[in-house]
Amino acid sequence: MKDGTKTDIKIGLSGCTLKMVDGKIIRKSSHKKSFNSRLNTQVEKQLSFNNIIQSDFHTPQIYKSGVGYFDMEYIPGESYYNFFNKCSKQDLDNLLLKIKSYFNELQTYKKPYTPLILKQKLNTKLNSLYKNSNYKPFIKYLVKNLDNNSFNNIPKTFCHGDLSLTNIIFYKNRAYLIDFLDSYVDSFIVDLVKLQQDLRFKWALNIHGGNLRIHQCFNYLWDNLYSEYKEYYDLEFTNIVNILNWLRIEPYLSDKKHKDILKSIITNLEHYEEFNSTNSRQIK
């Protein structure tokens, strides 16, 4: 279900394997010990969501967990592709209500990040991506310019960590979140950025394809989401998280077409254009 069009649970996700157990349980397993801690974080986040968050989203119930694996409820629902290919205007509005309910609840628990700590986290993440990136000069530019930003009043909250449309299962008027991810920053802004990835930049559709109807659905959701959370989407911090989001995707791409799509997105970002302009002036 990761690609939005298939429902084959054998597709590997985030360094893990999935298999059906007894026809009604999904077992997610790490294929190497180094990933066990991340898998544990996923379990903790999914359990926390079920125990704390009272939004209109749901998550599969976790039955048990052990070293390198956990068992959870199998949800026989639809991928985002199938859902948006036939959904009504009311279905879209109901999904918007679920999304807004989720973010509005997260904001009730927010507290501000200490700016210095936030800069350290961003700096650490950028440097961790540097070695294997094709955008090394751009990353250097971003690190150098972190000190020019104050990053005041950035909310620290629970976040899913990978709230892309590919990680939502649609089943009987319910929407289930799957594949929670550990995050270098804990803020609902990370989730806003992940939704922007698909709704504004059309990442999933560019990778897997999609028709005009689905594009229109995404545009409708994005226009409403941006209008509702404009104050957060327009933050400089959010712009940096957006760039980090694309740089984090880069190491997982092997297909040339996908790499070209990513390059087009990154090189058309406002910060990349500023970086190019700065380099051009220095060369002159």
Q: How far apart are CA 135 and CA 139, in angstroms?
A: 6
5: pLDDT strictly greater than 80: no
**Lowest model confidence (mean pLDDT) among 7-11, 42-46, 96-100, 156-160:** 7-11
57, 169 contact by CB (below 8 A): no
Q: Identify the structural domains of the chain with CATH numbers, from first to last.
A: 77-283 (3.90.1200)
Name the strand (E) or helix (H) holding 143: helix 136-145
pLDDT in tens, 39-73: 999 999 999 998 888 889 999 999 999 999 999 99
pLDDT in tens, 220-266: 999 999 999 999 999 999 999 999 999 999 999 999 999 999 999 99
Mean pLDDT of the chain: 91
Nearest in space to 7 (alpha carbons), one of 68, 88, 71, 83: 83
Nearest in space to 163 (alpha carbons), one of 144, 152, 183, 177: 177
- Which of 8-17, 47-56, 71-80, 272-281 reaches the highest mean pLDDT? 71-80
The number of CA neighbours under 13 Å toward the Cβ of 96 is 21
pLDDT score for 61: 94
83: pLDDT strictly greater than 70: yes
3: pLDDT strictly greater than 60: no
pLDDT score for 283: 42
Query: What is the maximum alpha-carbon separation in the chain?
Result: 67
pLDDT in tens, 103-150: 999 999 899 999 999 999 999 999 999 999 999 999 999 999 998 999
pTM of the predicted model, to two decimals? 0.92
pLDDT score for 16: 84
Q: How far apart are CA 140 and CA 193, in angstroms?
A: 22
Name the strand (E) or helix (H) holding 222: helix 212-228
pLDDT score for 14: 57
Q: How far apart are CA 45 and CA 214, in angstroms?
A: 30
Nearest in space to 25 (alpha carbons), one of 9, 12, 47: 9
9: pLDDT strictly greater than 60: no
pLDDT score for 27: 95
Q: How far apart are CA 51 and CA 146, in angstroms?
A: 36
